Chains A and B, each alone.
Chain A
Amino acid sequence: MRPASFPYGSMPRVLTIEDDLVTAEEIATELRSHGFAVDLAADGREGLALAQRGHYDAITLDRMLPGLDGLALVATLRGQGITTPVLMISALSDVDERVRGLRAGGDDYLTKPFASDEMSARVEVLLRRHAHAATADSQLRVGDLQLDLMTRSARRSGQDISLLPTEFKLLEFLMRNAGQVLSRTMLFQEVWGYHFDPGTNLIEVHIGRLRRRIEQPGRAQPIKTVRGTGYVFDAAD
């Protein structure tokens, strides 16, 4: 709930294209509180023009817009070789809609009604992924934890940790987004690849298992629970 510290030098810039003023204002407020500079566009054409010349780090895009439809907008951007990560936000939750959005070039898809913190978390995950895409490092190291992405093996302070494939994927996702609060839905989508609400405390149980795998006596647990929101990998203390 505090502004996350960014691994990038300058303040990241986000373009929010949304026709509902209150929602747009809310998205902007939330993103600003996380340390982003936000520009607003209220219709598709204006949004496209800004996206084309604005050099933004990320875009949040409403699916249904006056002027130019969200799908057409993202397809136009991709057609012009602009790879800015796009989070599509839509009132249409149908799975086919999501597939269509992602196929048109969107990077992630969020359905209204949404929680602001989840929205900002998704934008940050997109930013990190975009930054990571450039570096093809086979080692991922956060704090005293180290993942070898080639051999799919994990070590903590020099000791091997045995992990199941899904546990490895879960840990990798948490570590890649260290310091970022991740919701259960995001973890389920990213690690298991399904897009519904699994309900109950399933993700909690999987996190609990992963925690037991990586815990070492005398060392702090890096996977922390953020009440009501999700989990964060925090190797700071």
Chain B
Amino acid sequence: MSSTPLTEGWRSSSSRLLGLYSLLFVAWSSVLLGVMYWRVSDYLDGLAESALLQRAHLFQRFQGQTLDDALSESLRYDIHGTYAYGVFNAQGRHLTGPLQALPQGIEADQRSRQIRRWQLADGVREDNGRALAMRTQDDRVLVLVRQSGKLTAVNSIILDALWWGVSLTVIPGLAGWHVLRRRPLKRIQQIEAATDRITAGDLGQRLPVSGRRDEIDRLSSIVNGMLDRIEQLMTEVKGVSDSIAHDLRTPLTRLRAHLYRTRVALDDQDPQAVQLDRALTETDLLMGRFSALLRVSELESGQRRSAFEDVEVMSLLAELHEFYLPLAEEKQQRLELETGTDPILLRGDRELLFEAIANLLSNALRFTPEGGRIVLRAVSDAAGVQVEVVDSGPGIPAEDRSRVVQRFQRGRDPAGQSDGFGLGLSIVAAIASLHGLHLEIAAAEGGGARLILQGIHGAENSRSAYAP
């Protein structure tokens, strides 16, 4: 089963919601702070202009030496150093004050203007500023300059605040988003794991409920309620079939016993003996089929993982090869075992794996004509372990491949004289599903059947699927 990796967090609904929400939040914060910046800088600009006008108004009243003294005195209280002045004669020559030259485009009309560049005693200043020129009572020109550079500092303080504010909103926002999108995903993964175990046959499993009573919990509770009901029904059905099985076993045992007892009492030459022998053979067939059916049911109920261990596949195949070799030789078939050098491990029950592969071999031997060839091999690669039985028989038609693993389907049987119960492949399929193996039926080169049991490596298998 596929499990959702945490890195695919973008797909979770809460993460999308949070992402969108963060985006809106950042946009709104930016607009808010932008408006604030604009209003504040407008206000400060106005403040600067009115301060300049107030000064101009004040210095209007002075003239001569008094004006010069008042001007130089005023600089002493200019703590931030934002003001400068210059006094020029009517021709624009510098007389006194830190401002050395008339700023460009200035006129003595007592109106404040935006300037970009002005010359002070200690050099040229290039900045934003406002300047205002006016005629004094003694017919000189007084120029007042206020540097708005310091105002820009206020602006940059506001911009800083804006930047920090947004960052501090975005970073915890992102962190919260990361945490919030992980948590529901983790829970979905837990639910997936539980569902996998249920699908694999462990009906006692329930979806985890965290106790937060959120949407996922409510969904899980609903599904758990459903599972309770299903488990109850399954137990009832199993109880019924178990008791049917129990009820049938004893009469079958008795029937076999009666027939056998009657047969033992008869002489071998008695004509009734032949009939009784036939009846006995039929009863044995019936008992065999009955046992095989029960066996498939037991395997499908999937309660046998307690005995799972790492099985060495190569030695298992060698044992199977030795077991089937005499039969193949009798039928003049070549039974070949392809072995690798590295040990291959498969997590499972050795006895059941033996039975599954034995069934595959048994089928291959049965359907391969005299002189045919059957290959038994195991392959281990990055993808996992693969056990293959390849024969040179007639093969299984593609349309029959899913049918032959169902109960009582015999599949290919050209001669119509198979002695199997048609349950062989059902048993293989049941054992495969118990082990989490995949049974694949394919065509071999040359037209025979190729049956493949695919699984993952021993150690991995034990870690993922069957940890309690």
B50 close to A (CB within 8 Å): no
CB contacts (< 8 Å) of B250 on chain A: these are: 20, 22-23, 91, 112-113
7 tightest A-B contacts by CB? A113-B252, A112-B249, A26-B257, A113-B253, A205-B326, A205-B327, A196-B355
Judging by beta carbons under 8 Å apart, are A200 and B253 in contact?
A: no
In the complex, number of A-B residue pairs with CB atoms less than 8 Å apart: 107
Asked if A7 CB lies within 8 Å of chain B CBs, one says no
> Whole-angstrom distance between the alpha carbons of A114 and B231 in the complex?
32
A140 lies within 8 A of chain B by Cβ: no
**B362 partner, pick from A112, A198, A208, beta carbons under 8 A:** A198
- The chain B residue sitting closest to A209, CB to CB, is B326
Identify which of residues 254-301 in chain B touch chain A, using a CB-to-CB cut-off of 8 Å. 254, 256-257, 260-261, 264, 277, 280-281, 284, 287-288, 290-292, 294-295, 298
Other than the given A197-B292, A228-B280, 18 more pairs (CB < 8 A) read: A23-B250, A26-B254, A30-B261, A91-B245, A93-B291, A94-B303, A95-B351, A112-B252, A112-B253, A113-B290, A114-B256, A116-B257, A166-B323, A192-B323, A196-B295, A196-B355, A199-B419, A209-B326
Once the chains bind, are B284 and A200 in contact (CB under 8 Å)? no
| Contact, CB under 8 Å: A201 / B327 | yes
The answer on a CB contact under 8 Å between A202 and B294 is no
Cβ–Cβ contact B256 & A116, under 8 A: yes
Shortest beta-carbon distance from B185 to chain A in Å:
38
Say what secondary structure dominates the interface of chain B.
helix
* Inter-chain contacts of B358 with A (CB < 8 A): 196, 198
Nearest B residue (CB) for A115: B256
Can you list 23 A-B contacts with CB-CB less than 8 angstroms, sorted by A residue number?
Answer: A23-B257, A30-B261, A33-B264, A91-B249, A94-B304, A96-B304, A96-B306, A113-B250, A113-B253, A114-B253, A115-B260, A115-B287, A116-B261, A194-B354, A195-B351, A196-B295, A196-B351, A196-B355, A197-B288, A199-B419, A200-B327, A209-B326, A227-B277
Q: Are B307 and A228 in contact (CB under 8 A)?
A: no
- Measured in the bound complex, the distance between the Cα atoms of B420 and A192 in whole Å is 21
Q: B440 an interface residue at 8 Å Cβ cutoff?
A: no
Once the chains bind, are A194 and B264 in contact (CB under 8 Å)? Answer: no
Q: A93-B295, A198-B362 are in contact. Are A116 and B246 (CB under 8 A)?
A: no
Interface residues in chain A, defined as those with a beta carbon under 8 Å from any beta carbon in chain B: 1, 20, 22-23, 26, 29-30, 33, 91, 93-96, 99, 111-117, 164, 166, 192, 194-202, 205-206, 208-209, 227-228
| Candidates A114, A166, A194; contact of B322 at CB < 8 Å | A166
Q: A111-B291, A200-B366 are in contact. Are A95 and B261 (CB under 8 A)?
A: no
Q: Which residues of B contact A1 (CB under 8 A)?
A: 264
Q: Map CB proximity to A onto B396-426 as digits: 1 under 8 Å, 0 otherwise.
A: 0000000000000000000000011000100
B381 within 8 A of A: no
- Which residues from chain A contact B284 at a C-beta distance below 8 Å? 115, 228
Interface centre among A112, A206, A208 (most CB of B within 10 A): A112
Q: Which residue of the partner chain, among A93, A201, A206, A208, contacts B294 with CB atoms under 8 Å?
A: A93
A23: contacting residue among B253, B260, B290, CB under 8 A: B253
Nearest CB in chain A to that of B420: its residue: A199
For A117, give the chain B residue with the smallest CB separation: B260
Q: What is the bound-complex CA distance between A20 and B252, given in angstroms? A: 13
Q: Once the chains are docked, how many angstroms separate the CA of A112 from the CA of B257?
A: 12
Chain A residue contacts of B245, Cβ below 8 A: 91
- Cβ contact within 8 Å between B355 and A194: yes
Q: Which of B253, B290, B291, B324 has the most CB of A within 10 A?
A: B253
Q: Known: A26-B257, A113-B252, A198-B362. Contact between A228 and B322, CB under 8 A?
A: no
- Return chain A residues, CB-CB under 8 Å to B354: 194
Q: State whether B253 touches A202 (Cβ < 8 A).
A: no
CB distance from A166 to the nearest CB of B (A): 7
Instruction: Give the CA-CA distance A95 to B434 in the complex, in Å.
Output: 14
Q: A95 to chain B: which residues have CB within 8 Å?
A: 298, 304, 307, 351-352
Chain B residues near A206: list those with CB within 8 A.
326
Which residues of chain B have C-beta atoms less than 8 A from A197's C-beta?
A: 288, 291-292
Task: Across the interface, name the chain A residue whose C-beta is closest to B291.
Answer: A93
Given contacts A194-B354, A228-B277, contact A199 B257 (CB under 8 A): no
Chain A residues in 8 Å Cβ range of B288: 197
**Is there a chain A Cβ closer than 8 Å to B73's Cβ?**
no
